[in-house]
Amino acid sequence: MSQPLRGWFDKLVSFLRDSNRQQQSELTTIHAQLNSQVQGVGDPIASAQRIQVAHPIHHVTGTEAIDVIDAPPAFSGPIWLASDGAWSLTTAGNIAAAVTAVVGHFVQLVYDPATMKWYPA
């Protein structure tokens, strides 16, 4: 292989290695984010001043106002609360906007760890 061609080839190999490392790093980050998400349908939760979610979907029973929703460690993203009772969400805790649940409907919320608040959809 000629010297100019060898130099070009070495630069190409170096570029491809760096690009591959960057892609591997990005995939590792995406993998970690996806694995931090809760999965499946959880047990029903009775409405209370403070509730804890462990899955992306929960049925919520009762009529008490919910001020605080606790999420699993390192959680970010959406949850869906199925309204089996006429409960409400208040802004007294970590919920950004008040919501009154309608029986038979879902309330979707997204958790932002930067603000540590739930945002209704």
87, 84, 85, 103: which is closest to 95 by C-alpha? 87
pLDDT, greater one: 43 or 39: 43
> How much is the pLDDT for 1?
66
pTM of the model: 0.69
**Arithmetic mean of pLDDT, 51-71:** 95
For 45, other C-beta atoms within 10 Å of its C-beta total 22
Token duo for residue 17: 């290695």
pLDDT at residue 113 greater than cutoff 80? yes
